[in-house]
Amino acid sequence: MNGLIPHIDVPLISADDISVLALTIFFMPIITFVLLFFTGKHILAPIRSWLATGVMAVMFVLSLYLHIHTEGEHISRWIWFEIGSLKFTASMLVNNYSTTMMVIATFVSLMVHLYSVEYMRERRNHSKYFPYLALFVSSMLGIILSDNLMITFIFWELVGLASFLLIGFWYEKDSSAAAAKKAFLFNKFADLAFVIAIMMLFANYGTAEISVLKEQVSITPLLNAGIFGMPILIGFMIWFATVGKSAQFPLYVWLPDAMAGPTPVSALLHAATMVAAGVFLLLKTSFFLGDWVGNLITIIGCITAVLAALQAMRTFDAKKVLAFSTVSQLGYMMMAVGVGANDAAFFHLATHAFFKACLFLSVGAVIHSMHHMQSHQFDHGQYKDLDTLDMRLMGGFRKKMPLTFVTYLISYAALIGLPFFSGFLSKDAILGALYDWATVSNTWTWFVVAAAFSTVAITAFYMTRQLIFIFFGEFRLLKTDMSYKQYFDHITESKWLINIPLIALATLSIWFFFSINPLHAQTGWWMKQSFVSGEHHVFHFFIPILASVLSIGAAVIAANRYKNVTVFVDRYVGLTKMFAQNFYIEKSMDVLLIRPVMLVAELCGSTDRWINHLIHGKAYFILVLAQCADVFDRWIIDGSVHLVSAIINGIGSFFRSYLKGNVQQYFYFTFIAFALILVWLAWYL
Amino acid sequence: MNILDHIQESLQYLAPEGMLVLALLAVLFADMFQATRKNAVFATLTIGCLLSVGVYVGYELFDRNSIPNVEFMSNMLVQNPVILFSKLLLIISGIIEIVFIQVYHYSQYLRERGETYMLFLAILLGCFFLVASVNLFMVFLSLELISVPSYMLVASRLDKKSTEAGMKYLLYGAFATGVMLFGISLIYGLTAGLDLFSERWILAFAAIPVFSKWIVLGLVLAALFFKTSLFPFHPWTPDTYEGSSWGVLNILSTLPKIAAFIFLMRISALFEGMQSYSILIAVIVGFSLLVGNFSALVQQNVRRLMAYSSIAQGGFIGMALLGGGDLSQQSLIFYLVTYLFSVPVALFILDYFEHISKGDAVNNFKGFGKKEPIMSIIFVLVMATLIGLPPTAGFFAKIFVFTSVWQYYETIQSPILLGVICVAVAGTVASVFYYMKVPYFLFFKEFENTVILTSKHKSSLVFVSLTMLPVVVLFFCPDRLMDLLKVIVAYI
């Protein structure tokens, strides 16, 4: 085996204080998970909620402490297990990059926890909610800290499991269960690529240690010449794994469906944990991405961004609009990764985490009040099926929930990239990087840039649409059912447990947290940290102006268009249908993958049936033969036996008939018989 | 030579018969002065006598130096190893019968009477004389010595059925004896002598016309056919069997038959090569097989069934008379050995079942197989012997008989012999049906009898097991007996 597997000396490094602290943070949610999962309903719900939230707060503080005190890289590596002479190592890397991600993840998680304390109160299955959240966070921390791809894979799968459990949290709803299944299967399909990548790594390098591989890849040239050389192919495989997790075309269709889970979970999923994991991993292993893979990533990211944004334009589900917007923003990040602007990608990941979480939680607050309305009505003896996510039934929440409106507005501005907000900075970084990339590449790359810019406009359009639908105009539900009037009147601002996360996240969506200069992030402290690669693009003055103009223009168009809409008439049925079907991605998967497989299965099945028919035919033949044999037995063999016995009985009766117990008759019989015998014999002889 | 000296000289060969007569007189004496009948004096006397006769005969037989082939008593009787062996067989059979009567509780009237033992001893004496006879007059006397006590034994239960059976037996026996006497008188007229085995008589007999020859021979053999219940002198058998008790039946179906067949065997040896004689026997035997086997098939009463089966068995034994050579004689004696052990067992178990089920119809035996498993299994074995199935000596007995007949058929190519073989094969097949009828009812029908089965006699089990043992043992080493018989039959 040693001959087959290339041996690279992997030094073992013992953990220092920083690493131990990171490990401690990592293990805290695991303890929470075990404790809450197995005690379950024996602990009172408030204690449960506050315990999990408290642990998360401690984790956030420790992460912050860790981030401040981390300088350079802190690698610790130890033997995981041995098979013969083969040593499998596990390792942990703590550097600026990972601690920053940890801070983002723990902060968003903390916010979501706080929000959940109120939002999930008195909801069904409450006892399982916080353990699952803890599992989710700990798995994410595992991905962040691990420096070994095999360990990463384990947590990668655990994230998949936790997301499955949380998406299907209300599993008694069919849509929930189906969405969870869909998310799980799409992710598993992509994860196959991860497994293949790990196998390739072991075959070529004999290790999955990222930092060791990083050196090896930079030292050695391409192992196999050509465009399918080894590091390139490995990069492709890792990227494909993230296509599932980070929801890229064509596997992004699970993400909108995943809205079936609780709203805080959606916030966590979209902001800091699940989808971020893919981008985070890709950035960490970006040294594999060479040659054509980068272009592929960019193109796919561009397609994803445009398609998802288009779908968001025609969706009426409040959460799905945000989900499509997440997919679209992930496309941006991937484009940045593809062109090598790793820092820009990570920057956008960070800013996006805050404002997207804020958006989700704001919309969640609105949905929460809609729920309250429904349950109030239920308390008054009525129950009406109400789609609490449908934006067509909302409106006018600006006056009812002004704080929520403000936080939504801030994060909205950040998302569409208005100046003085975080999204402006990160988007500018990505667009600048794309522009730089296009100037040095072929002409087709300008299409990508154009698509990226148009997506900016589309984003502004659909977000404005949502803003107007939810917060402006009148409460449209009353037009269909006036019975909600009394309940709508009672709607007020949410509880402070919901408001605090909203305010915190909205604050972090404003420019000054990332850069003093509100228009240019390159001079800001974030980009100077050079978390990933440290590459910077040249500042182009026209890019932020163009982007802002596009955003504001699209927003104005959308505002004019939807300002006074009260009746919803679908004038583009075909378009709606196409969007609702996710551009027929699932259909085409069905046609391209599932149908052929099912066809082969059907062929096998029919072959089997033919074989069965043959066997049955043989059995029938034998049965018929047996019937024939039976008839033969009954009539010929049994018949002959019966014939013989009948003859014998006849003979017996014949002889007995002479013997009726009369001695004289005996004499006659004997005399005549004996005489006949003797005479016959005499004649015969 | 002085006649007295001759008689005195001859008496040394008559020691067994003398001992039987003494025992007979002792039983008669004891019976006269015995106050109570509930004792075992008669049985003890009889068995003691039989044992000592057996020891004497056995000593004579195996003491090679003392085996002369001599005629004595004015050429009336003869002494040779075949006759000694036959007497040995008769004694064994006699012991089995006496034990049969002792073991079985329901034959109390037989067991406790001195007459039973006297009559039995008389029959045995007659059998002794019959096997040793060389003169037709002696044959006649010994047959009568067998017959007259037999009539009395059959009627000894003194009820209506038994008296009727005895009466029929007597009438029919008298008829047969008359026919025989007629034949003997004709023979005396034709050959001027009754000394069958002398060269002079054979020459004289050969000189008479063929037609007369077979008429007289047939008439003379009639009484022997009667004793062996061969066709057409069989009609008495079912009636007599039905009317008499099993203990008597046992005596009637073994002792006289063995004696008569031994004598017939000697006659066959005398006429060996004379085709006419064997054709006569073949016809008689063929019809016996036909009548016995096929009549037995339709019987529902076990006594009548056994009666017809004994006719059929007589037919099978008679087949061994046809050839007349060594193999025929060996197989005849082999068959007799098997027969004398198996018939008492069959009758005993039937008796047993009949009494616990209070009826002699086959239907009454339903489901006994589960109540009396060992008895039933031994019964199946006995039936297998009588059919001729492994693992019993009956299998080899039948094989030897068939082989001897086939050999003879290959010599003379007579269609009548072929017919006999065919009838015998068909009879064997048919015998499976009626012999297995009782076991079928024992094992394959549910128990229906309301009578509570109380009788469980260990002595009965011991008796049937011990009696059955030689039959099973002979299956595994038939060659031992055949080798012994080969030595013995050379003296005929």
DSSP B115-154: HHHHHHHHHHHHHHHHHHB-SHHHHHHHHHHHHHHHHHHH
Contact A674/B at CB under 8 A: yes
Assigned domain for A177 exists? no
Does the structure show a pLDDT above 80 at A165? yes
* Residue A538 confidence (pLDDT): 65
Q: Is residue A86 within a helix (H) or strand (E), and if so which, with residue range?
A: strand A86-94
Number of independent structural domains in chain B: 1
Q: Judging by beta carbons within 10 Å of its beta carbon (0-12, 13-18, 19+), is residue B320 exposed, middle or buried?
A: buried
Assign A129 a pLDDT band (cuts: 50, 70, 90): confident
From A670, which residue of chain B is nearest by alpha-carbon distance? B232
Residues of chain A with C-beta less than 8 angstroms from the C-beta of B286? none
Give which of B169, B295, B301, B425 to mutate to test A binding, by max A Cβ within 10 Å: B295
Residues of A in contact with B168 (CB under 8 A): 663, 666
Convert the pLDDT of each residue in A333-370 to its tens digit: 998 888 888 888 888 888 888 888 899 888 888 888 88
Confidence of residue A7 (pLDDT cuts 50, 70, 90): low
* pLDDT confidence of residue A468: 86
What's the pLDDT band for B121 if we cut at 50, 70, 90?
very high
Q: Report the DSSP pairing between strands B77-79 and B70-72.
A: antiparallel
Cα dihedral sign, A599-A601-A603-A609: negative
> DSSP assignment, residue A512?
G
- pLDDT tens by residue, A488-515: 777 777 778 888 888 888 888 888 777 7
Residue A422 sits in the same domain as residue A483? yes
Contact B231 A673 (CB under 8 A): yes
Beta carbons of A648 and B294 less than 8 Å apart:
yes
B233 lies in a domain?
Answer: no
Task: Report CB contact under 8 Å: B171, A681.
Answer: no
Tell which residue, B244, B390, B219, has the closest CA to residue B310: B244
Query: For the residues A394-406, what does the mean pLDDT come to?
Result: 84
DSSP H helix total and E strand total for chain A: 28, 2
Are A419 and A544 members of one domain? yes
Say if the Cβ atoms of B218 and A678 lie within 8 Å. Answer: yes
Residue A492 sits in the same domain as residue A623: no
Domain that holds residue B322: 286-492
Question: Is residue A286 a part of any domain in this protein?
Answer: no
Q: Are residues A557 and A495 in the same domain?
A: yes
- Identify the weakest region by mean pLDDT among A285-299, A616-630, B118-132: A285-299
Query: In B, which residues are within 8 Å of A674 by CB distance?
Result: 179, 218, 222, 232-233
Strands A86-94 and A74-83: antiparallel
Nearest residue on chain B to A653, alpha-carbon basis: B295
| Residue B67, pLDDT score | 65
Residue A356 within any structural domain of the chain: yes
Chain B, 334 to 363: residues with Cβ < 8 Å from chain A are none
Q: How many CB atoms lie within 10 A of CB A42?
A: 8
CA–CA separation, A220 vs A216, rounded Å? 6
Mean pLDDT of B273-292: 86
Which residues of chain A neighbour B433 with C-beta distances below 8 Å? Answer: 645
Closest residue on chain A to B433 (Cα): A645
Dihedral Cα B361, B363, B365, B367, nearest 10 deg = 180
**pLDDT tens for each residue of A552-586:** 888 888 888 887 776 676 677 777 777 777 777 77
Give the closest-approach CA distance of A629 to chain B in angstroms: 24
Residue of A nearest to B296 (CA): A652
**Does residue A552 sit in helix, strand or coil?**
helix
Q: Per the domain annotation, does A646 fall within a domain?
A: yes
- Phi-psi category of A175—alpha, beta or left, where left has phi over 0 and alpha has psi -120 to 50? alpha
The percent of residues above 90 in pLDDT, for chain A, comes to 5
Contact residues on chain B for A669, CB-CB shorter than 8 A: 232, 235
pLDDT computed for residue A445 by the predictor: 83
Closest-CA residue of chain A to B175: A667
Residues of B in contact with A670 (CB under 8 A): 175, 232-233, 235
CB contact under 8 A, B235 and A658: yes
Spatial distance between the Cα atoms of A675 and A654, rounded to a whole number of angstroms: 19
Range of A609's domain? 600-684
Give residue B39's pLDDT: 63
Average pLDDT for chain A = 83
In a domain, B175, yes or no: no
Q: How many CA atoms lie within 13 A of B97 on its CB side?
A: 30
The set of residues, in sequence order, having a beta carbon less than 8 Å from that of B358 and lying 6+ positions away, is: B364, B451
**Of the candidates A522, A551, A567, which is a domain's last residue?**
A567
Looking at the complex, does the CB of residue A382 fall below 8 Å from at least one CB of chain B? no
Residues B278 and B300 sit within 8 Å (Cβ to Cβ): no
**Residue B231 touches chain A, beta carbons under 8 Å:** yes
User: Could you tell me if residue B428 is inside a domain?
Assistant: yes
Least Cα separation, residue A632 to chain B (angstroms)? 22
| Rounded mean pLDDT, A184-200 | 90
Half-sphere exposure of B164 (CA within 13 A, CB side): 11
Residue numbers in A near B218 (CB within 8 A): 674, 677-678, 681
Domain assignment present for residue B467? The answer is yes
Comparing C-alpha atoms, which of A20, A242, A51, A64 is closest to residue A134?
A51
Q: Quick one: average pLDDT of B237-253?
A: 86
- A275 within 8 A of A326, measured Cβ to Cβ: yes
| pLDDT digits 0-9 by tens, A401-443 | 888 889 999 999 888 888 888 888 888 888 888 888 888 877 7
The distance of A620 to chain B (nearest Cα, Å) reads: 35
The whole-angstrom separation of Cα B438 and Cα B380 is 9
Instruction: Compute CA distances B67 → B59, B198, B457, whole Å.
Output: 10, 20, 44
pLDDT over 70 at B91, yes or no: yes
Residues of A in contact with B214 (CB under 8 A): 678, 681-682, 685
pLDDT band per the 50, 70, 90 thresholds, residue A194: very high
Is any Cβ of chain A less than 8 angstroms from the Cβ of B278? Answer: no
Number of domain units in chain A: 2
Within 8 A by CB and 6+ apart from B378, the residues are B345, B349, B464, B465, B468
Q: What was the pLDDT predicted at B51?
A: 92
A648, B308 Cβ separation under 8 angstroms: no
**Residue B220 to residues A345, A670, B185, B214, B217: CA-CA distances in angstroms?**
135, 15, 9, 10, 5
The confidence score (pLDDT) of residue A267 equals 86
| Cα–Cα distance, B400 to B327 (Å, whole number) | 8
Does residue B416 lie within any of the structural domains? yes
Count of C-beta atoms within a 10 Å radius of residue B95:
15
Closest residue, chain A, to B174 (C-alpha): A667
A1-5's contacts with Cβ under 8 Å and 24+ in sequence apart are A1/A84, A1/A85, A1/A86, A2/A85, A2/A86, A5/A86, A5/A202, A5/A203, A5/A206
Mind telling me how many Å the CA of A672 is from chain B's nearest CA?
Answer: 9
Task: Name the token pair of B238.
Answer: 């079912």
| Residue contact A673–B294, C-beta within 8 A | no
Asked if A523 reaches chain B (Cβ–Cβ under 8 Å), the answer is no
pLDDT digits (tens, 9 = 90+) for A578-622: 777 777 777 787 788 888 888 898 899 899 999 999 999 989 999
Looking at CA atoms only, how far is residue B215 from chain A in angstroms?
A: 6
Question: Which range is least confidently modeled, B91-105, B275-289, B358-372?
Answer: B358-372
Query: What pLDDT, on the 0 to 100 scale, is given for residue B144?
Result: 92
Nearest CA in chain B to A674: B232
The pLDDT value recorded for residue A372 is: 79
Cβ atoms of residues A476 and A391 within 8 Å: no
* From B175, B214, B235, residue closest to A681, measured CB to CB: B214
Inside any domain, residue B235: no
Give A312-323 pLDDT, tens digit per residue. Answer: 888 888 888 888
CB contact under 8 A, B239 and A649: no
Residues of B in contact with A684 (CB under 8 A): 279
Per CB-CB distance under 8 Å, the chain B contacts of A661 are 239
Q: What is the mean pLDDT of residues A226-249?
A: 82
Mean pLDDT of B65-74: 73
Q: pLDDT (tens digit, 9 = 90+) per residue, B167-217?
A: 888 988 998 899 899 999 998 888 888 888 888 888 888 888 877 888 888
Q: What is the pLDDT of residues B4-15, one digit of tens each?
A: 888 888 888 888
CB atoms within 10 A of CB A596: 10
Interface mutation vs chain A, best among B151, B234, B412, most A CBs within 10 Å: B234
* More confidently predicted of B212 and A460: A460
User: A663 contacts in B (CB within 8 Å)?
Assistant: 168, 171-172
Query: Please, are residues A383 and A362 in contact by the beta-carbon 8 Å criterion?
Result: no
Is some CB atom of chain B closer than 8 A to the CB atom of A84?
A: no
If pLDDT is split at 50, 70 and 90, which confidence band does A657 have? low
pLDDT at A121: 80
Residue contacts between A and B (CB atoms, under 8 Å): 76
Please report which residue ranges of B358-392 form alpha helices under DSSP H: 368-371, 373-387
The whole-number average pLDDT for the span B93-105 is: 86
CA-CA distance, B335 to B385, in Å (whole number)? Answer: 10
Name beta bridge partners: A148.
A209
**Closest approach of chain B CAs to the CA of A676, in angstroms?**
10
List of E strands, B258-360: none
Pairing assessment for the beta strands B70-72 and A86-94 based on DSSP bridges:
unpaired
A652 touches chain B (CB under 8 A): yes
The pLDDT value recorded for residue A2 is: 44
Minimal CA separation from B221 to chain A, in Å = 11
Residues 103-142 of A with CB under 8 A from B: none
What ipTM is given for this predicted complex?
0.79
For B298, the closest of A653, A659, A681 (CB atoms) is A653
Are A543 and A636 contained in the same domain?
Answer: no
- Mean pLDDT of the B437-442 span: 82
What's the mean per-residue pLDDT of chain B? 85
Among partner residues B276, B283, B290, which is closest to A677 by beta-carbon distance? B283
**φ, ψ dihedrals at B322, nearest 5°:** -65, -45
